Amino acid sequence: MPTNLSANEHFQQVVDRAVSRRGFIVKTGASAATVAFLSAGLTACGGSDDDPLPPAPAPEPAPTLGFTAVTAYTEDGVSVAAGYTATAFAPWGTPLFSTGPGSTWAGDGSETAAAQARQVGDNHDGIHFFPIDGKSSDEGLLVMNHEYSTTLAPAYTNYLTLFGATAAPANTLERVNKAINAWGCSVIHIKRTAGKWNVVLDSQYNRRITSSTPMLLTGPAAGDALLQTSADPTGTIVLGTINNCGNGYTPWGTYLTCEENWNNNFGTTVEPTVDGRTAAQKRYGLASGSTGYGWEVFHARFDYKKEANEANRFGWIVEIDPFDPTSTPKKRTALGRIKHENAAYAIAADGRVVVYTGDDQANDYIYKFVSTGKYVAGDMLNNRNLLDSGTLYVGKFNDGAATGDFMGTGTWIPLTTANPALSAFSSLAEILVNTRLAGDAVGATKMDRPEWVAVHPKTNEVYVTLTNNSGRTVTDDANPRTANRYGQIIRWREAGNDAAALTFEWDLFVLAGNPTMDQTNPLNKGSANVTAANTFNSPDGLGFDQSGRLWIQTDGGYSNTGNYANQGNNQMLAADPVTKEIRRFFAGPKECEVTGLTFTPDSKTLFINVQHPGENGNSHWPEGGTALPRSATVIITKNDGGVIGS
């Protein structure tokens, strides 16, 4: 590029050139790049002018970012935009019942495994609010993930925190079981009274789902030999869900919890110096010997040399009916087995259900599932098993007309036995269990760690955070930086605006970066919508509100120095998808990540999660003083009672 241009100016120029060449971004006013491809005038995706595709939807008015941005924040509290109130809620250990184990909280980590099984879990992540009656904004079921809790590695204070210890205590069966019970999900009945949200103690809905709760494997791979173990020769009954990261939900009122870094829970105590891993076990990152968690020492099923297939029973999307506390969670094998971040649905033009997912690993893939059956509003009998039958696709992101314009076209490649590239797979079950290997075989595009997916509620455009990839050495237009430490957000529109389409057009919504740094690679200053005021790294959590504001949460470097100077603690920002403007709305306490978001139906209460405050030992949030740090939900309201973000 011309050396007298800033990175932002360069980014602007290449986008401008792409605009004039391809004509699918509408130029208005002074800034072409500030008008997105979701504006009026989009031609049919990936096709010629005479493609028989339906016209693009009418443009949506730009949602207003009505708040004043907060500055980078480095203290051990929370910072939220002026005129808003942020309150910690339901931290780790919160009792759900008034009697029995776990009905009190000592605050010193002394709770037993049995107590933890009846209290809110640790490391809050994905979250969703289900109105109690389908419409209430004052009462509902708050369902959330608890991603992890402990590791033996003393560098992580979560282990110390869980037991209130000052040095890494020896692992025991009781301690491992407490950890197992701190993972999973919580279903919490909550109600607002006189302006204050409370847990409804002893509600029939209150429930903990842990890493030992029985659940079913369903769909095409259920029962397959690859899923059978000595404890479960049927290959259909699993104990627990682990590494519940991001989430999804369905229009029929169920919660989707997504199993991410489950590989870290599987190791071996059998000849640990002999690397006996299969190619698939290596591809999924199982340890060659012991793990940091040590579960394999106390539970043989987590030792893959003793129970080779147990690990195959994790890495799935799990569907939970929060309104039936006796229901058995279902691992939906049709959606594939990866390190699932979250799941975001869309309804195709013909009514089929589409679920987008990302595999959070450097150089891994983006997927979408298209159901066989069609969604019928209000027909639970029809809808309840829609996620058991359909086609799984993996994404290929092509550079398109020009390299260096940060946009292109893409295709969805079917992962089926009919695909000749997958002839080495003996069955659909094998493809679904070893989804990553299938993605490798068909030549999917290696992305910069796909984290959350979000679907715009009005336009159906799909956005995905690509959080970072410090090891990238070969670039393409979708992943345009080597040693990518800042991350980007990619978005696409499916052909014909139909979620089931097999082709799409994409561009980058933002290249995160730090324009306050003297960067060797000018692209590390970020795209034109990154400024000294909103600089951030490692976008991770992502979601739209009903008005179409895009909310971005970060899980990245928080040193506030060097490459991360002037970025402060991890944070949440709001973006306008049309103008591309991004403003910092919230920042969390020290050494946390901000993750998970959900709104009440009136859009006036926002629930987000703060995970692992003080992961390196430097936080006492939320209680302060000398209290143990506790992951917690944060409830955000606008002081004038208005819509969040307006």
Contacts with ligand FEO by CB under 6 A lie at 147, 245, 260, 341, 360, 451, 540
Measured from each CB, the residue nearest to ligand FEO is: 245
**Start-to-end C-alpha separation, the chain:** 39
Cα four-point dihedral sign 432, 437, 443, 447: positive
Contacts with Ca ion in 456-475 (CB under 5 A)?
467
How many residues can be counted in the chain?
646
Closest CA to 115 of 130, 100, 127, 129: 100
Smallest distance, Ca ion to C-beta of residue 465, A:
8
Say if residue 52 is preceded by a cis peptide, omega within 30 of 0.
no
400 binds, among ligand FEO, Ca ion, none (CB under 5 to 8 A by kind): Ca ion
Name the 3-class secondary structure at 10.
Answer: helix
461 binds, among ligand FEO, Ca ion, none (CB under 5 to 8 A by kind): none
Map tokens 């609010």 to a residue. Answer: 129
Degrees to nearest 5, angle at CA 590 with 344 and 529: 55
Distinct helix (H) and strand (E) counts, the chain: 9, 31
Of residues 467 and 637, the one with the C-beta less far from ligand FEO:
467
Closest CA to 140 of 601, 603, 642, 613: 601
Measured from each CB, the residue nearest to Ca ion is: 555
Candidate segments 91-99, 379-387, 409-417, 553-561, binder of Ca ion by CB under 5 A: 553-561
Of residues 33 and 176, the one with the C-beta less far from Ca ion:
33
> What HEC string does 534-578 produce?
CCCCCEEEEEECCCCCEEEEECCCCCCCHHHCCCCCCEEEEECCC
Closest CA to 21 of 407, 462, 481, 478: 407
CB 490 within 8 A of CB 464: yes
Closest CA to 389 of 406, 369, 375: 369
Count of CA atoms in the C-beta half-sphere (13 A) of 161: 31
Smallest distance, ligand FEO to C-beta of residue 555, A:
6
405 binds, among Ca ion, ligand FEO, none (CB under 5 to 8 A by kind): Ca ion
Binding residue for Ca ion (CB under 5 A) from 555, 576, 591, 615?
555
d(CA 347, CA 510): 26
Cβ burial, residue 609 (10 Å; 0-12/13-18/19+): buried
Degrees to nearest 5, angle at CA 67 with 65 and 70: 115
147 binds, among Ca ion, ligand FEO, none (CB under 5 to 8 A by kind): ligand FEO
Of residues 494 and 540, the one with the C-beta less far from Ca ion:
540
Smallest distance, ligand FEO to C-beta of residue 467, A:
7
CA dist list (Å): 303 to 148, 216, 225, 300, 315: 19, 21, 18, 5, 16
Binding residue for Ca ion (CB under 5 A) from 461, 494, 540, 545?
540
Q: Is 477 in the site for Ca ion (CB under 5 A)?
A: yes
CA 351 to centroid of chain Cα atoms: 25
Of residues 126 and 526, the one with the C-beta less far from ligand FEO:
126
- Strands 214-218 and 330-332, by their bridges, are parallel
d(CA 420, CA 430): 15
Of residues 411 and 467, the one with the C-beta less far from ligand FEO:
467
Smallest distance, ligand FEO to C-beta of residue 612, A:
11
16 binds, among Ca ion, ligand FEO, none (CB under 5 to 8 A by kind): none
Smallest distance, ligand FEO to C-beta of residue 148, A:
8
Of residues 147 and 498, the one with the C-beta less far from ligand FEO:
147
Smallest distance, ligand FEO to C-beta of residue 26, A:
34
Of residues 148 and 252, the one with the C-beta less far from Ca ion:
148
CB 97 within 8 A of CB 201: yes
Degrees to nearest 5, angle at CA 541 with 591 and 637: 85
Of residues 33 and 490, the one with the C-beta less far from ligand FEO:
490
236 binds, among Ca ion, ligand FEO, none (CB under 5 to 8 A by kind): none
576 binds, among Ca ion, ligand FEO, none (CB under 5 to 8 A by kind): none
Candidate segments 415-423, 514-522, 538-546, 607-615, binder of Ca ion by CB under 5 A: 538-546
Q: Is 310 in the site for Ca ion (CB under 5 A)?
A: no
Of residues 67 and 249, the one with the C-beta less far from ligand FEO:
249
408 binds, among ligand FEO, Ca ion, none (CB under 5 to 8 A by kind): Ca ion
Q: Is 476 in the site for Ca ion (CB under 5 A)?
A: no
Of residues 148 and 544, the one with the C-beta less far from ligand FEO:
148
d(CA 344, CA 324): 22
Of residues 413 and 464, the one with the C-beta less far from ligand FEO:
464
Of residues 347 and 466, the one with the C-beta less far from ligand FEO:
466
399 binds, among Ca ion, ligand FEO, none (CB under 5 to 8 A by kind): Ca ion
Binding mask 380-419 for Ca ion (x = CB under 5 A): -------------------xx----x--x-----------
Smallest distance, ligand FEO to C-beta of residue 452, A:
8
260 binds, among ligand FEO, Ca ion, none (CB under 5 to 8 A by kind): ligand FEO
Closest CA to 635 of 190, 156, 3, 46: 190
Q: Which residues bind Ca ion (CB under 5 A)?
A: 399-400, 405, 408, 467, 477, 540, 555
